[in-house]
Amino acid sequence: MSRRVTFNRNPLLSQLLPQWRSRFVLLLMIGGFVALVARSLFLQGVNNEFLQAKGESRYARVIEMPATRGRVVDRHGDVLAVSTPVKSIWAIPEDVKLTPAQSRQLAALLGIDARELSRKVATEKDFVYLKRQIAPDVAQQIAALKLPGIHEQQEYRRYYPGGDVTAHVLGFTGVEDKGQEGIELAYESQLAGKPGSRRVIKDRRGQIVEDVESIRAPQDGRDVQLALDAKIQYLAYASLREALEVNKARAGGIVVLDARTGEVLALVNLPTYNPNNRVRLSGAQLRNRALTDTYEPGSTLKPFTAAMALNQGKFRFDTPIETAPGRLTIGSATISDAHPHGVLTVAQVIQKSSNVGAAKLALSFSPEHMWQMFDDLGFGAPLRLGFPGEAGGRLRPAKSWRPIEQATMAYGHGISVSLMQMAHAYLVFARQGDLLPLSLTRVDTPPPPGKAVFSAQTAREVRAMLELAVLPGGTAPKAQIQSYRVAGKTGTAHKLEAGVYANKYVSSFVGLAPASDPRLIVAVMIDEPSGGKYYGGDVAAPVFSTVMAGSLRALGIAPDSPLAPLQVAKDVEAVRESM
């Protein structure tokens, strides 16, 4: 019979543990307890910001509240650019828990690859956009899925009712609703609002359940009212587009100014683009040619040469100038007229557009005097309208001019300008010889006196010369308008490519009406017409006539000459008698 051994009689218990061992274990336990107490006191009493921040991050978020961008309207208050509400889909990455099927479904609705979606939500950021500015119906479908960590946010997207008609004036905004081109960029500080922010509480699924507070209220942007007239803008656009199609031209531009205020009533460039859909855009479409591109103005510069001659008293309206045999040799170069004329008065030099006559007028003055005149007109420097990339043109220092260069500049070669600069300079003839600054925004008060460039008498005399240029015998009879007296000048210049004049042309016309009391200036430029005609009088003058006629009637400006040729003859005679 075996001997039983009970638990309390187990021989192992009879062996005592070493006394130091139990004390060591006790000290470890006491030390650990003290460390935990010290740590808890430190975190809760001394450095409690860390735990509070971590805890708050589990349920609280600061959400940005977008501000509404200001509208852009035309001079009559018609909307040209407005921000419309859209939805953007965003996520809190740590809360996103999607099955493979849900990821594929969400990626399909967003129009992105499932791998790209996975990459976006794998970030350690607290907030990430999945897709900006999506259609409202798509946002509703995503919301119906009730996916954890996926949220929507209201934003604003810019809409341009005029589309490609006003594209180069207005420009466009980016995905953040910030101006990128045109008025949107030039007036960014006024149009852009200041976004606000609010603190919210979310539940364990990441869904917002309560607004806690508004940290900063959003400040909406201010509206900008342009000088632009939407009706004149569309008329200019349609007329220029038709001219480019008929003449098979590469590009073109047109500017309409109010001579009394310097307001820009229309600005059109072709080719253009639709700012509402900027897919597959090229640089050529985006260029605001009227401001960023320069060209040699050709004969549209001759009236300024004549004005300089008259203003100094060296020449009179009817002073004769010998232009025979239609050529003028200076050094090794020869200047030629398209048609030989013989003796011409100063007025006929402009009417017939004689290069030889203009060169002889210019060479009677010093280069410094002529350069100063060009500088006073604003050539060689940007107009500073605020548009990005605005060109100043090319006007070399007078001390570097050779006689042949001064002669060719008299008829618009060897100097480059933008179309807006040419339109601006013609204000001196539409007014009393003074030059106003231009304005892109509506002007409601009378502008201050402009900078005097020529005398009022000189302006009137040159205006009479420009009227002769659009009558039979001049270079631009196609610029005439029924019941209105018109004054203007054609320009036809070879294009300069790689330092050599190519067999390509820039055709232009700049004019004003009504000539008895000018109200509008219209400048037209057609680049590389290839439809068989290239003279400014054939290509650009008809566009001027259409746009000027429609603009005068749109503004309700009364006709000034039912019998224009007879009235012009009387005015020319009156000018001669006054001298």
What's the pLDDT tens digit per position in 232-285?
999 999 999 999 999 999 999 999 999 999 999 999 999 999 998 877 777 778
Burial call 326-337: b when 16+ CB within 10 Å, e when fewer:
bebebeeeebeb
Residue 25 binned pLDDT confidence (cut-offs 50, 70, 90)? confident
Residue 541 has pLDDT above 80, yes or no: yes
**Other Cβ atoms within 10 Å of 36 Cβ, number:** 10
Residue 130: pLDDT over 90: no
Residue 99 token pair: 């099955």
Please report which residue ranges of 427-473 form alpha helices under DSSP H: 427-430, 456-469
Please check the confidence at residue 362 and state whether its pLDDT lies above 60.
Answer: yes
Helix (H, G, I), strand (E, B) or coil at 276: coil
Which of 276, 236, 232 is closest to 252 using CA atoms? 236
What pairs with residue 522 in β-bridges?
Answer: 256, 511
When mean pLDDT is compared across 272-281, 347-356, 506-515, the lowest value belongs to 272-281
Q: Which of 10-24, 59-73, 437-451 has the lowest mean pLDDT?
A: 10-24
CA-wise closest residue to 478 among 551, 546, 561: 546
pLDDT in tens, 81-95: 998 888 888 887 877
Q: Is 47's pLDDT higher than 80?
A: no
Task: Label each residue of 366-399 as H, E or C.
Answer: CHHHHHHHHHHCCCCCCCCCCCCCCCCCECCCHH
CA distance 377 to 431: 13
- Contact (CB, 8 A) for 290 and 253: yes
In the 8-state DSSP scheme, what is residue 33? H
Which residue spans within 421-499 are E strands per DSSP?
A: 434-435, 451-452, 487-497
pLDDT band at 21; cut points 50, 70, 90: confident
Class of 230-275+286-578 per CATH? alpha beta
Domain residue spans of the chain: 61-225, 230-275+286-578
Q: Cβ of 231: how many Cβ atoms within 10 Å? A: 17
pLDDT band at residue 8 using 50, 70 and 90 as cut-offs: low
* Catalytic residue positions, numbered: 299
pTM for the full predicted model: 0.81
Q: Please provide the average confidence, as pLDDT, over all residues in the chain.
A: 87
Residues sharing a CB contact under 8 Å with residue 275, sequence separation 6 or more, in sequence order: 158, 160, 163, 164, 167, 170, 171, 172
Q: Say if domain 61-225 classifies as CATH 3.90.1310.10.
A: yes
pLDDT in tens, 439-475: 999 999 988 889 999 999 999 999 999 999 999 999 9
Q: In what order do the strands lie in the sheet with 60-65?
A: 60-65, 196-202, 208-216
